[in-house]
Every structure is written in structure tokens, then in C-alpha cells.
Amino acid sequence: MENKILIDVAILLFSGIVFGRLVKYIKLPNVTGYLIAGLLLGPSFLNIIPIDMVDNFSVISDIALGFIAFSIGSEFNLTYFKKVGIAPIIIAIMESSIAIVLVSVTLIVLGFDVKLSIMLGAIAAATAPAQTIMVVNQYKAKGSLTSMLMSVVAIDDATALIGFGCATTIVKMMSSNLDTNIVLSILSPIYEIVISFIIGFVASIIMKLMFRWFRKSSNRLCIIIAFILFTYWSANVLHGSPLLACMALGGVLVNIFKEIDSIVKITDSFSPPIFMIFFVISGAGFEISALQGIGVIGLVYVVMRVIGKCIGAWAGGKLAKQEDKICKYLGPTLMPQAGVALGLIVAAGNVIPEYAPQIRVVILCSTFIYSIIGPVVAKIALEKSGEIVINPNDN
């Protein structure tokens, strides 16, 4: 068994590095290569990465998501927010809200069940930052758009959870199950956000104290890994959001610890192989056969969600009086969806169990589509905004 795990890890890393290099010849981001590697080697094609291997590496996905969330949180510097004000909050609320409304209304107008339409609309608010952050890191994107992007995706999970909580309450009120506790339905997402922040806040305080005692990079790396994993686990146990908790960990730490740049540098030196394995495994987990079941409702969801995100980001940017490149290019960078959205599949299925299979197919298929197209679109948007310069010699 141990030898099998060793060769599995070797296959994942080797395939990731090879396909990451191959896609560069057609000017695509590395993360797209990782996803394609997993797709080709997974059950849908060669089956070199079987489905049980995908399941066995689920812990790697949790670790990767924890590090991604921590990385996003570490961009949450209050000095930046003092400069830009509440613009990221306004944009996050607008892009989430308009995506919810546009998807829901369009589906209802086309004749789909109102409850199903509302739940799919609520899930549409969620954005997965992983692919976009990988593009930002690979091309070393820097500028006002990149800073705004990091801030908006950090807030996006909170707005998505609140929106989903409100949608769940509406759907439950529409159902015949009158004994549903509406107050608990409303308070549930609020509790999830608050407990996640508390976990991240407390962990960051303890983390800072430990950094005073341990100054070697190797020791600090061990502390970083331990606290990210502990924070992620604690949020799961206390029914919070692991991603929000890890974001809070990074967000509080960046504002209370002066040597945060060295911490980010240490984290960046450790995370690349974890991210590579995560994305290859994610690619292997997609089932091409499921695409045939997406239907009209799935196509509407995919298209309307993107339009909603773009219109919302543009409107939020204009409302917050941001520069033109933020209004124009922020929306396309918010296309990817996974993480929170995949978690909401189960919650939505519990609310309307008769539509659970349909919700699952739609979200899984859209996740696949967004994951392949999203990084490419994000790269183009950041390049057109002038915040990345492609270096052909960058390996």
C-alpha cells in the first residue's frame, strides 16, 4: 500500500509538470495543463488515475484549499482597505447578487421549477479562487486589478454563504414543510461566518506568539502548516467554513505580524507541489460522460452566471468609482467555481431532495467547464489590463 501511494504521487507530479510545460507552447496557464493532465489520465480516458485514487487523495484537496484560502487572506491588509475604502465589499455584493438574480430569473422565465431555479441561482454566487490565484502567482500579476481581485474573492465566500442562506429560507417557506425553523435557517449562514472568523482570529494570535519563539524558516514552515491544517479542521468540527476560517487566519495575521512577507515567502516555497497534485486530481475527478446530462438548464446556468458576474463586477466598480480596467476586466477573472459550490450541492439537495441529482449534474459539469476555460480567460483579462507581462523564458 505504501509503495502504491509513492508511485501515485510520482505519477501526479510528473504528469503535472509535463502538461504544465506543454500548454505553455500554446500560451495557456500551467493550471490548465494540470487539469488536462488529470482529465486524460483519469477514469474518463486512460484510467491511469482511477477513481479510488482520486478519493484517496481527498486530504490533499483539503490541504491545498487551506493554503489557497490562507494566501488570499494574507492579501487582506487593512492598509490597502483604508486606501480603497469599501469598494471590494460593494463589488463582491454586486457580483454575487446579480449572478443569483440573473440565473434564478432566467431559469424561472424559461419555465423551470421556481425552487430549483432559486437554489441554482444561490449556488451561482460562489467563486473558486484557486485557478485564478494560480494564474496570478505564475505570471506574477501586480497592480490595482490584481489587488482588487484578491480582496473580492476573499469576501466572495461570505457573500455567497449569506445569499445561499437567504435562498434556502425562501425555498423552505415555499415548501409544504411548515414546521421548518425559519429563524435557524436565517441565522445558520451568519453563525458559519462568525465562528469561522473567531477560529481564524484566535489561531492567528497564537501563531504570532509562536513566531516570536521560532525564527528559523524551517521551524516557521512547520508552524504555518500545522496552523492551517488545525484551522481547517476546527472549522469543519464546529460547522464553520474551512475556507473562511483559513482566510481569517491569513487576514488577521497580515495585520498583526510585521514579518508577514517572510511568512508568505516560506508558504510559497512549500505549496507548489501541493497545488499541482490538487489540480491534477481535480482534473481526474471530472467525468466527461456527465456533460451529456447537463441539458438546457445547465447551459443557461453556465452562461447566465458568467454574465451576472461580469455585469455585477462592472456595476459594483462603477458604483465604487473604480478605474476602468477594474470595471472591465474583474468580472471575467471571477469565472471559476468549485470548493464552496461543490459543498453547497449537498445542502441544496437536502432542501429540495427531488432535484438533488439534477443539481449535482449541473454544478459538476459547470465546474468542469469553468475550470478549463476560467484560467485562460483570467490570464487574458490580466494581460489586457497590463498587469502581467508574458516572459517566454519563464519556466
Measure the CA–CA gap between 264 and 250, rounded to whole angstroms.
10
Please name the amino acid found at residue 258.
K
Give the tens place of pLDDT for each residue, 232-273: 999 989 988 787 888 889 989 999 998 888 998 899 888 889
User: Does the pLDDT value for residue 185 go beyond 80?
Assistant: no
Give the tens place of pLDDT for each residue, 203-238: 999 999 999 999 899 999 999 999 999 999 999 899
Mean pLDDT computed over 351-368? 80
User: Does the pLDDT value for residue 103 go beyond 80?
Assistant: yes
User: Does the pLDDT value for residue 344 go beyond 50?
Assistant: yes
Measure the CA–CA gap between 21 and 38, rounded to whole angstroms.
14
Measure the CA–CA gap between 374 and 28, rounded to whole angstroms.
11
Give the tens place of pLDDT for each residue, 6-49: 888 899 999 999 998 998 888 777 877 888 898 899 888 888 88
Using 50, 70 and 90 to split pLDDT, how confident is the model at 291?
low
Using 50, 70 and 90 to split pLDDT, how confident is the model at 53?
confident
What pLDDT is attached to residue 178? 46
Give the tens place of pLDDT for each residue, 149-182: 888 887 887 777 777 777 877 787 776 554 456 6
Mean of pLDDT over the chain: 84
What pLDDT is attached to residue 204? 96
Q: Is 64 left (phi over 0), alpha (psi -120 to 50) or beta?
A: alpha
What pLDDT is attached to residue 227? 96
User: Does the pLDDT value for residue 184 go beyond 70?
Assistant: no
Q: Is 387 left (phi over 0), alpha (psi -120 to 50) or beta?
A: alpha
What pLDDT is attached to residue 346? 63
Q: Is 142 left (phi over 0), alpha (psi -120 to 50) or beta?
A: beta
Per cent of the chain over pLDDT 90 is 30
Using 50, 70 and 90 to split pLDDT, how confident is the model at 343?
low
Q: Which CATH class, in words, describes the domain spanning 55-384?
A: mainly alpha
